[in-house]
Amino acid sequence: MSKKVLLVDDSTTTLMMEEMILKQRTSYECVTAKDGLDAISRAVVESPDLVLMDVVMPRMNGFEACKRMRTESSLSKTPIILVTTRGEEEYVEAGFQSGCNDYITKPINGFELVTLLQSYLGE
Amino acid sequence: MNMRSDLPAKNEGQNSAQILGNQAKVYAARMRLQNAMDQADALDAIREIAGNLIGTEEVAVFKIDNERSELWLYWSSGVDPNKHSVLEVQREPRLKQVLNGKPVFRLKLSAENLLSTDDPVNALIPVLVDGSACAVIVLFRLFPHKAGIEPVDREICEVLSNCAGRAVEPYHSR
């Protein structure tokens, strides 16, 4: 059974790019959400094996969505990777405090993305 | 298992993932611009492409006023519009090439700026409609962790050049 990845971003461009890379380079199934609130409800229903989520989004940002996911028993141990525009220490620290497992910076590098996800989900 | 014999295969896998990632970026940029619903959405697409695929949150679109030999700020995101309201062609030698339809990029690690402004400019991209430049997209400061414009960024800029016409000419289909 293939692993399921929830991709969360308000940018259709980013979702399209991430989905294209993962579908061609891995066997993961991709489901998508357009903001933090949408991500929580999708995650509860879909029970993904990993969440790849942007930080800056309307309605609810990635930090907040990450915190809320950690309070859901079904999502408390799901790997969450945040996609940030900044790699600065403060920003990364805020991500880890929200409960994320890892982060990747924009613009996303295809090889780095696949390698990072495979380190959590296997090939 | 001989680890050395795995290296070429590993490098090949890395290269192909990289190539696919780049192709995905170019494809996503083209699809996003071609599927823009209206002018506002096309401008939003430029912002998205600059931020998510190239790596800058500072972008502006200048419309060309051929009669007055200047470019005036049409739309911007992440830059102070008062600082960049007009670009005079005579004062900006790099613009001549752009007005002829050729993009200009700042070389990696180069201290030279493309425009006479304090803000670093990394790319000047002509927006082509019916083969002629009708506007110029300016990419300012890149994200701190991004060293410069990469080959894939140039390909994305080519897509911007050919497919962003609708952002400035609302009745242009592409």
Chain B CB contacts of A20 under 8 Å are 20, 24, 27-28
Q: Do A107 and B27 touch (CB under 8 A)?
A: no
List the structure tokens of B14: 């890395």
User: Cis ω on the peptide bond leading into residue B126 (within 30° of 0)?
Assistant: no
Query: Following CA atoms B40, B45, B46, B47 in sequence, which dihedral angle do they give, to the nearest 10 degrees?
Result: 90
The continuous run of DSSP H or E covering B123 comes out as strand B123-129
Q: Do A14 and B52 touch (CB under 8 A)?
A: yes
Task: Tell me what the pLDDT averaged over chain A comes to.
Answer: 93
> How far is Cα B32 from Cα A44, in angstroms, rounded to an integer?
29
Work out the burial of residue B21: count CB atoms within 10 Å of its CB; fewer than 13 is exposed, 13-18 middle, 19 or more buried.
Answer: buried
More confident call, B27 vs A94 = B27
Q: Is residue A74 over pLDDT 70?
A: yes
Q: Is residue A72 over pLDDT 50?
A: yes
**Is B52 an interface residue toward A (CB < 8 Å)?**
yes
Identify the band that residue A101 occupies on the pLDDT scale cut at 50, 70 and 90: very high
Low-confidence ranges of chain B (pLDDT < 50): 1-2
Q: Is residue A33 over pLDDT 50?
A: yes
What value of ipTM does the predicted structure carry?
0.88
List the structure tokens of B145: 């962790």
